[in-house]
Structure 1
Amino acid sequence: MNTIWQGRLDGEELLYHRIFQRVKEENNYDFISTKDFVLHGFAVDEGVRRNKGRQGAKDAPDMIRKNMANFPVIRPDFSLLDFGNITCENGMLEDTQYELAKNVSKVLLKGGRSVVLGGGHEVTYAHYLGLKTAFPEQKIGIINIDAHFDNRQPEDGVGASSGTGFWQIAQEGDINSLHIGIQRNSNTLKLFDTAHHYKMKYILADELFFENLPSIYQRIDDLLDSVDYVYLTVCMDVFNASIAPGVSASAYNGIFADAAFMHLYRHILKSEKLLALDVAEVNPVYDIQERTARLAATLVNEWFIV
């Protein structure tokens, strides 16, 4: 067993189990069963480099695993298969994205639920492509919890990056996306214009307060009702720098993982249409006391217990 998956051993009976006791390291996709959670690490930040961000996110997947390991298992039927990390060789980001997409499609066609630990937010295009490969005729909805739209058009000579994922998806047909936590001071008017042009729906960070939850639920439900399957991606730079200092672009005015946020987050997780979840942009180089990695691990674990 990988030494990353370690935790407090209270006993071997099911009532004592923690995640490290239930995870199985695997490399054969034929062994996936329906409703298994299937984990890949996207140990890549080439897209962050291309986007002129702070590199270091490629080291995040194992740090997030470490912080997931000791969570208690709540559901008796919980099963987690870990297929290890995908890395980016020689700056070939596009090849790495297609590799993840291929693996994710295998997971979904076996009835598994895909969990990806990033890595930079270039994971978005790869993860979405995995869903679209598995279900080419189905309508895929994307919920992006992020301060940024990530709908920048690729620069000539640079190519895809951590900031281009939603622009790339939009080039392949109608995009069905809802972006939650968008900051006005983190997106140019051009990016807002691009969002409007492609009919990307969004909820500003300023709208995320408890009294506004009924309206937010409605907008989430409108997306959920209009699609066949849902993919949820969480960019950790949406959060305030005090609770998520270890990101590529920290935010002094980011949101908090408070009661209002957790209510809307769990509302998404409860959807039977949700097939895929990832966390992106954890950067251990700049983290403090592993706060960002711990928060990312907690957000993934919420799907395991909802």
Structure 2
Amino acid sequence: MIKQKNSIWQGRFDGDEALQQRIWQRVSLQNSYDEISPKDFVLHGFAVDEGVRRNKGRVGAALAPEVIRRNMANFPVVKPDFSLKDFGDVACASTLEAAQAELAAKTSSVLANGGRSVVLGGGHEVTYAHFSGLRKAFPDKKIGIINIDAHFDNREPEAGIGPSSGTGFWQIAQEGAMHSLHIGIQRNSNTLKLFDTAHQYGMHYITADEIFFENLPGIYERIDDLANSADVIYLTICIDVFNAAIAPGVSALAYSGIFADAAFMHFYRHILQNKKLLALDVAEVNPALDPDQRTARLAASLVNEWLMS
């Protein structure tokens, strides 16, 4: 039997007992940030891909939040205290910059009230917005960023175009010291200039070629170095880091991208288990280019790993 809470949050109904419930049964639709309790997962969609358009990518990611929600809805609940509060979507009603400022204000309210922030993009311009919310909520804390991505996204904005999905880390660096680790970086997707910029700004990285099972101890060490030096951790995942075979619906395909295999899941879950992790987002899912919703399902599964960790 299929039941629904609204037109998006719906799924299989096995019963109302705690052992039978699925995520759609535990979602509450909210509009007051005063009702957030400590440790609640609080969800926003970032239905924006103006940054992808500015960055000359394949547009369509603005449609992703609803599709990812639908793919999250039917996952089973495995934690008795699980709570997910959905505050709807931020859209690009006027400018990209205004949409980023709106998301920053909303996620700041979540974090200031003790919630854990989850954002479904949208383009990877979500990074600057989400980080800005963290900085607003924790102005005196050191924020460590883990970026799982094929790209550094540290381009300087083009004159006459402005910030885009590829400029987030450049923007962050202009506002103070950056503490970041970028995992999955592709040498065939970043110019030498972008590598040089990463070195100048202290952006530590692990290339896609370094992600294999035997190298997990070294990857764990790099993750722990960042986490131990930070007060708060923010994790952002650009789905175009994954191989086109499992993530075809993205703005920039990666024929040699990584897989969500055992090596990946080991270090990914290691990040999720860190109590300093307070914010996570997924970006660059493009439903218009996603056969069988494979990419959206992958994004939903990665979010679910945190919800149920």
TM-score bin, normalised by smaller chain: over 0.9
1:123 corresponds to: 126
1:36 aligns with 2:31: no
1:53 corresponds to: 57
Listed as ranges, the matches of 1:175-214 within 5 Å are: 175-214=178-217
Listed as ranges, the matches of 1:167-178 within 5 Å are: 167-178=170-181
TM-score by length of 2: 0.98
1:75 corresponds to: 79
Q: Which runs of 5+ in 1 are unaligned?
A: none
2:284 corresponds to: 281
The C-alpha deviation readout for 1:38-81, integer Å capped at 9, x for no partner, is 00000000000000100000000000000000000010000000
**Distance in 2 (alpha carbons) for counterparts of 1:251 and 1:102:** 33
Listed as ranges, the matches of 1:252-263 within 5 Å are: 252-263=255-266
1:5 corresponds to: 9
Offset at 1:167? 0.3
The C-alpha deviation readout for 1:120-173, integer Å capped at 9, x for no partner, is 000000000000000001000000000000000000110000000000000001
CA-based RMSD of the aligned residues comes to: 0.5
Q: Which amino acid aligns with 1:69?
A: A
**Distance in 2 (alpha carbons) for counterparts of 1:179 and 1:41:** 23
**Percent of aligned pairs with the same amino acid:** 73
1:238 corresponds to: 241
Q: Which amino acid aligns with 1:134?
A: A
Q: Which runs of 5+ in 2 are unaligned?
A: none
- Secondary structure of 1:128 counterpart: helix
2:30 corresponds to: 26
Query: What is the aligned counterpart of 2:99 among 71, 80, 96?
Result: 96
Q: Which amino acid aligns with 1:143?
A: I
- Which consecutive aligned stretches of 4+ in structure 1 deviate over 6 angstroms post-superposition? none
Offset at 1:3? 1.2
1:145 aligns with 2:148: yes
1:267 aligns with 2:242: no
- Secondary structure of 1:223 counterpart: helix
**Distance in 2 (alpha carbons) for counterparts of 1:169 and 1:58:** 23
2:164 corresponds to: 161
- Secondary structure of 1:21 counterpart: helix
Offset at 1:4? 0.8
The C-alpha deviation readout for 1:249-306, integer Å capped at 9, x for no partner, is 0111000000000000000000000000000000001101000000000000000111
- Secondary structure of 1:234 counterpart: strand
The C-alpha deviation readout for 1:87-134, integer Å capped at 9, x for no partner, is 0013x0001000000000000011000000000000000000000000
Offset at 1:241? 0.3
1:65 corresponds to: 69
Offset at 1:2? 2.3
Q: Which amino acid aligns with 1:81?
A: K
- Secondary structure of 2:34 counterpart: helix
**Distance in 1 (alpha carbons) for counterparts of 2:119 and 2:35:** 18
